[in-house]
Amino acid sequence: MDGPEVFLEHVSVSRETIEKLETYANLLSRWQSKINLISTNSLQRAWHRHFLDSAQIYSISPKKAASAIDVGAGAGFPGLILSIMGMKNVQLVEQNKKKCAFLYEVIRETEATATVHPCKIENLPVKDYDVVLARAFMPLDGLLKAVSPFFGKDTLGIFPKGSKVNQELTAASKNWKMTTVIKQSITSPDGKIVLVKDLVSEQ
């Protein structure tokens, strides 16, 4: 079973938000037949695997966050979901033009306030963000190198990870000093969410 009901078992949102997410889901299904946005297998469980997996981040994000950046946004998970749920000033960074076209259409159809940056992360102007997001982008050590220019003293990094999270943390700790908290994902026994603060390079 998959659909809005699965989502609403874990997340409380308005009817208007659900309608926007349903629009998103319909667009995802339509576009997936044309371009590879997500794995075909996960499309059948998109509400659980992608929508809920992204939405769980909302409750652990700082309530006063005024800006967020999603690196390697892909089909919009988690950044565009969080924008639809109410996160402010979400910037979606994605270099694939076809995926950007999909993001533009979802934003247009759902009236989300997110902004798409069709470029590589290294080409984006450097500034501090309250929240830095990345899901299924790259292993943690390389990810921290890519996103470190966007970390200020109060920035929180939120990075969903899988079963290799401990290996990634061990590798990253050789090059980075940071404060980390690991939270269990509600969508998978192997899923973890790595929270990173106080990021400092030791290279």
1 Cβ partners below 8 Å, 6+ apart? none
Averaged pLDDT, groups of 10, the chain, 203 residues long? 89 97 96 89 88 96 96 97 97 98 98 97 96 95 97 97 96 97 96 97 84
pLDDT value of position 149:
97
* Superfamily of domain 4-201 in the CATH hierarchy: Vaccinia Virus protein VP39 (3.40.50.150)
Helix (H) or strand (E) holding 104: helix 97-110
Diameter of the chain measured on Cα atoms:
49
Q: What is the per-residue pLDDT for 44?
A: 83
To the nearest 10 degrees (0 to 180), the angle between helices 165-173 and 140-147 is 60
For residue 1, the model assigns a pLDDT of 65
pTM: 0.95
One-letter identity of residue 91:
Q
